[in-house]
Chains A and B, each alone.
Chain A
């Protein structure tokens, strides 16, 4: 039985290889990646181009035609391993590449939905990823399909066979590291960050030669750690991040400062900079680490050739609420009178939307994009938050007799006004489409906590919805004014990415399972299809044989169902799944 299955698979693969031979076999180049947004026949990068704008100029599917859109094929990720599917598909020469939960990669015929090959990373026993066993997608380069694994490796597969070409250990999973983000390829280098829990890790961004896996540079994201660059395979010191240790940290806490750049980055060829966000500082109790704690909860502008930090902008200095600063920074240009402003925008966990000068990281403007923010009273003229100190969680070390401290109510919750799910920017409307959530949290000191059989001082917290009828809100936001042009409310929290198109459409999936298309100017729902499980992935669109296709992964999971309490109640009836759904207009 098993051998018969294999033969069949090969036969299918051979036929496809033959039918695609005409337009196929072109390797993905740096130019293809830079031009990804404009070349509608493929999607070769995460974010539909290195800027991550998630905008497609395709117009065949538009506000008039979208109502006729229907699924053409579905693909099951199979097995019992149906967990959160946060992958964004990519498509090259009629082949779609996706990742699945548990560090799996699939190559699929984009016309028929037939599987061409599948790669299952052999994960070691005893890895402990913090927030579901998800993966967010691959990078393509040359004839390679490159992705990061839950045991913190970077793996490059041959795009025809799915066989390993090179494999690099990025970090030691035993020290608490893993990789879940899609890598980015810039100028022949594949660049990745790492994830890590509260195990005393130090965030680092690394660049490797995309063809060989040879390391090129390494940049720590915590002040005080030495960066390195490799020349002719020789490792050389390349400057300490932030100049020296101890400027914004106390004691030796910078040695285990956290700030994991776990969500990957974007790149802008105009200013030739990489943009990476960083996670919260460690330890979680902010009273133990007075200071701004560079470069935690920040956006970094990084030289792609050397890994040098050119500028930084810290969204939450001295974070005490677990507001990671990892959310994507999207480069875009706008006109200020007759001047073109080279800007970049990000919607932070902390509830503020920031517009920065992407050449130097200067703050242009910032405004709340969620209705309720309690931890800060606003931003000053440099973009630094004006703290509302009573809303900083207390110091457990000061709690008398090991009693529970007082409870602080903070909004947004630590899962953020916006979490990892990427927003989109439409050149046509000039608006950002931000998948946001309205929720808050109670935080208290929890002395009745244990870790590895040892008494522990934990932070107790619970996430609560602010409104009875919705948590999720998709918002169309004007970055020039901060004005919200329209919004769409959703009962469950949003956890999937957004796509905007020149067809005046915005696509997004929700945890209830629907792929939805909105009118980009008005927010009206123009299309809706139930995929059978919650959507936490990001949609793409491309053109093939003269027709426009839309694809998205469906498969409920990610961090939301892992937290108990009131929010979990809202989502507990959602069924798990693991499917790719592909749509087009009927001929």
Chain B
């Protein structure tokens, strides 16, 4: 009798532990259970990726420091990128994964953009009213890297009327190179499933340059031949030249965002944030939010 009751009790405890982990939770719950669940993108170096069964990357390292500062254990969950960030926020924070129904406490790499967070739909409702976006931790931009043996200098975009360039399919660089400049670069634009494969194509001398996210492209140039260089050109007509990246929690959990916001501010100000980016060879730019 006693034995079976104990088993039942354990079973109940397990169930409640699982169900509390399945949900995004309040700050008090997180502190009490000593567990913070953070969603990051799957297979997205240098931000978040798996290696030897362990989570690595810039976003993972930031999450580790947040958990450490809150004195809780970190659980990292990888999420496959959906068609837009709006979908990702649904999958990770407010509705949960469509298969496992799990929700996380925090989602990394969410734009920190007032126009975006305050966007309204066709019937006037806030599109993102279920989540709160906060704590910008870096400023992202576009970047070209090129093979110096093939192109002397990339001072303007004009060189890509003559030189082949690799981009990731269905990204702004892809649209930019095929859509802007009256289509004069279309036939020199090569599309790849991701920017790493574009870099491989540059190694194989299939293309003379690549264009992608600045953090990714600068990271990819670590340990590459010395003739691969980062360009310093401007991107006329590209629309958004740079944007801030922060994180998000479910709107009900503002208290959590305040606690995490404090940690991130501290990391930016004491230089730890820049050092994390440096470890991965990624260019770091501090958001203007922290300007004195």
Residues of A in contact with B (beta carbons under 8 Å apart)? 80, 102, 123, 125-128, 130, 133, 175, 197-200, 250-253, 255-256, 282-283, 285, 287-290, 395-399, 401-402, 442, 447-458, 462, 464, 564-566, 569
Considering the complex, give the chain A residue whose CB is closest to the CB of B125. Answer: A564
Q: Does the CB pair A454–B213 fall under 8 Å?
A: yes
Considering the complex, give the chain A residue whose CB is closest to the CB of B194. Answer: A200
Q: Does the CB pair A130–B180 fall under 8 Å?
A: no
Q: Does the CB pair B84–A458 fall under 8 Å?
A: yes
B123 at interface, CB cutoff 8 A: yes
- How far, in angstroms, from A569 to B140 measured CA to CA in the complex? 37
| Mask of B148-192 contacts with A, CB within 8 angstroms, 1/0 | 000000000000000000000111101110111001001111110
B98 at interface, CB cutoff 8 A: yes
- How far, in angstroms, from A462 to B193 measured CA to CA in the complex? 29
B185 CB to nearest chain A CB (Å): 9
B63 at interface, CB cutoff 8 A: no
Given contacts A102-B99, A290-B183, A457-B172, contact A449 B83 (CB under 8 A): no
Given contacts A250-B186, A253-B191, contact A455 B243 (CB under 8 A): yes
- How far, in angstroms, from A457 to B245 measured CA to CA in the complex? 17
Contact of B187 among A197, A251, A282, A283 (CB under 8 A): A251
Q: Does the CB pair A126–B179 fall under 8 Å?
A: no
- How far, in angstroms, from A39 to B104 measured CA to CA in the complex? 53
- How far, in angstroms, from A509 to B137 measured CA to CA in the complex? 51
- How far, in angstroms, from A102 to B98 measured CA to CA in the complex? 10
- How far, in angstroms, from A283 to B177 measured CA to CA in the complex? 13
Given contacts A256-B169, A283-B170, A569-B123, contact A457 B42 (CB under 8 A): no
Q: Does the CB pair A288–B243 fall under 8 Å?
A: no
Contact of A455 among B183, B191, B239 (CB under 8 A): B239
Known A-B contacts: A199-B169, A442-B122. Give 4 more (CB < 8 A).
A198-B170, A250-B187, A395-B179, A452-B88
Q: Does the CB pair A453–B109 fall under 8 Å?
A: yes
Which residues does chain B contribute within 8 Å of A458, judged by CB atoms? 84
Given contacts A200-B191, A288-B178, contact A456 B172 (CB under 8 A): yes
Q: Does the CB pair A456–B169 fall under 8 Å?
A: no
Q: Does the CB pair A449–B84 fall under 8 Å?
A: yes
Which residues does chain B contribute within 8 Å of A450, judged by CB atoms? 84-85, 111, 113, 116, 243
- How far, in angstroms, from A133 to B100 measured CA to CA in the complex? 13
Given contacts A251-B178, A454-B171, contact A565 B191 (CB under 8 A): no
Q: Does the CB pair B191–A451 fall under 8 Å?
A: no
| Mask of B92-113 contacts with A, CB within 8 angstroms, 1/0 | 0000001111000000011101
Contact of B140 among A128, A133, A289, A454 (CB under 8 A): A454
Contact of B78 among A126, A127, A199, A452 (CB under 8 A): A126
Given contacts A397-B237, A457-B239, contact A451 B79 (CB under 8 A): no
Considering the complex, give the chain B residue whose CB is closest to the CB of A288. Answer: B178
B10 at interface, CB cutoff 8 A: no
Q: Does the CB pair B42–A126 fall under 8 Å?
A: yes
Q: Does the CB pair A397–B109 fall under 8 Å?
A: no
Q: Does the CB pair A252–B189 fall under 8 Å?
A: yes
Q: Does the CB pair B82–A128 fall under 8 Å?
A: yes
Considering the complex, give the chain A residue whose CB is closest to the CB of B242. Answer: A455
Q: Does the CB pair B186–A455 fall under 8 Å?
A: no
Given contacts A448-B116, A454-B171, contact A128 B179 (CB under 8 A): no
Given contacts A447-B239, A453-B140, A462-B122, contact A396 B175 (CB under 8 A): yes
- How far, in angstroms, from A197 to B170 measured CA to CA in the complex? 11
CB-CB contacts below 8 Å: B1-56 with A:
41-42, 44, 47
Assign chain B's interface to a size class: 35 or more
- How far, in angstroms, from A462 to B121 measured CA to CA in the complex? 8
- How far, in angstroms, from A395 to B171 measured CA to CA in the complex? 15
Q: Does the CB pair B80–A200 fall under 8 Å?
A: no
A560 CB to nearest chain B CB (Å): 16
Q: Does the CB pair B171–A456 fall under 8 Å?
A: yes
Considering the complex, give the chain A residue whose CB is closest to the CB of B169. Answer: A200
B234 at interface, CB cutoff 8 A: no
Which residues does chain A contribute within 8 Å of B176, judged by CB atoms? 397
Contact of B174 among A199, A283, A398, A402 (CB under 8 A): A283
- How far, in angstroms, from A449 to B86 measured CA to CA in the complex? 9
Which residues does chain A contribute within 8 Å of B240, judged by CB atoms? 402, 447, 455
Q: Does the CB pair A130–B83 fall under 8 Å?
A: yes
- How far, in angstroms, from A279 to B169 measured CA to CA in the complex? 18
| Mask of B219-247 contacts with A, CB within 8 angstroms, 1/0 | 00000000000000000010110010100
Q: Does the CB pair B47–A453 fall under 8 Å?
A: yes
- How far, in angstroms, from A448 to B127 measured CA to CA in the complex? 12
Q: Does the CB pair B191–A288 fall under 8 Å?
A: no
| A-B contacts, 20 listed (Cβ < 8 Å) | A133-B99, A197-B83, A198-B83, A200-B169, A251-B189, A252-B189, A253-B178, A288-B178, A288-B186, A402-B239, A447-B239, A450-B84, A450-B116, A451-B83, A451-B170, A453-B47, A454-B172, A458-B84, A464-B122, A565-B123
Which residues does chain B contribute within 8 Å of A566, judged by CB atoms? 122-123
Which residues does chain A contribute within 8 Å of B98, judged by CB atoms? 133
A130 CB to nearest chain B CB (Å): 7
B121 CB to nearest chain A CB (Å): 6
- How far, in angstroms, from A200 to B180 measured CA to CA in the complex? 20
Contact of A565 among B99, B121, B190, B237 (CB under 8 A): B121
- How far, in angstroms, from A195 to B159 measured CA to CA in the complex? 38
Which residues does chain B contribute within 8 Å of A252, judged by CB atoms? 189-191
A152 CB to nearest chain B CB (Å): 14
Contact of A200 among B82, B110, B170 (CB under 8 A): B170
Which residues does chain A contribute within 8 Å of B178, judged by CB atoms? 250-251, 253, 288-289
B211 CB to nearest chain A CB (Å): 12
B259 at interface, CB cutoff 8 A: no
Considering the complex, give the chain B residue whose CB is closest to the CB of A445. Answer: B239
Considering the complex, give the chain B residue whose CB is closest to the CB of A399. Answer: B239
Given contacts A256-B191, A396-B175, A448-B119, contact A125 B183 (CB under 8 A): no
Contact of B175 among A102, A123, A283 (CB under 8 A): A283
Which residues does chain A contribute within 8 Å of B188, judged by CB atoms? 251
Which residues does chain A contribute within 8 Å of B180, judged by CB atoms? 397-398
Given contacts A250-B186, A447-B239, A452-B44, contact A200 B193 (CB under 8 A): yes
Q: Does the CB pair B179–A451 fall under 8 Å?
A: no
B89 CB to nearest chain A CB (Å): 10
Q: Which residue of A198, A442, A449, A462 has the most chain B CB atoms within 10 A of its CB atom?
A: A449
Q: Does the CB pair A452–B239 fall under 8 Å?
A: no
Q: Does the CB pair A287–B115 fall under 8 Å?
A: no
Which residues does chain A contribute within 8 Å of B119, judged by CB atoms? 448
Which residues does chain B contribute within 8 Å of A462, judged by CB atoms? 121-122
| Mask of B118-148 contacts with A, CB within 8 angstroms, 1/0 | 0101110001000000000000100000000
Which residues does chain A contribute within 8 Å of B83, judged by CB atoms? 130, 197-198, 451
- How far, in angstroms, from A153 to B178 measured CA to CA in the complex? 34
Which residues does chain B contribute within 8 Å of A200, judged by CB atoms? 169-170, 191, 193
B189 CB to nearest chain A CB (Å): 5
Given contacts A126-B42, A566-B122, contact A452 B170 (CB under 8 A): no
Which residues does chain A contribute within 8 Å of B121, judged by CB atoms? 462, 564-565
Pick the 3 closest A-B CB pairs, nearest first: A397-B179, A402-B239, A200-B169
Which residues does chain B contribute within 8 Å of A455, judged by CB atoms? 111, 140, 172, 239-240, 243
- How far, in angstroms, from A442 to B245 measured CA to CA in the complex? 30
A181 CB to nearest chain B CB (Å): 20
Which residues does chain A contribute within 8 Å of B44, judged by CB atoms? 452
Q: Does the CB pair A448–B115 fall under 8 Å?
A: yes
Considering the complex, give the chain A residue whose CB is closest to the CB of B127. Answer: A564
Considering the complex, give the chain A residue whose CB is closest to the CB of B81. Answer: A452
Q: Does the CB pair B100–A125 fall under 8 Å?
A: yes
Considering the complex, give the chain A residue whose CB is closest to the CB of B238. Answer: A402
Which residues does chain B contribute within 8 Å of A289, judged by CB atoms? 178
- How far, in angstroms, from A283 to B170 measured CA to CA in the complex? 7
Considering the complex, give the chain B residue whose CB is closest to the CB of A283. Answer: B170
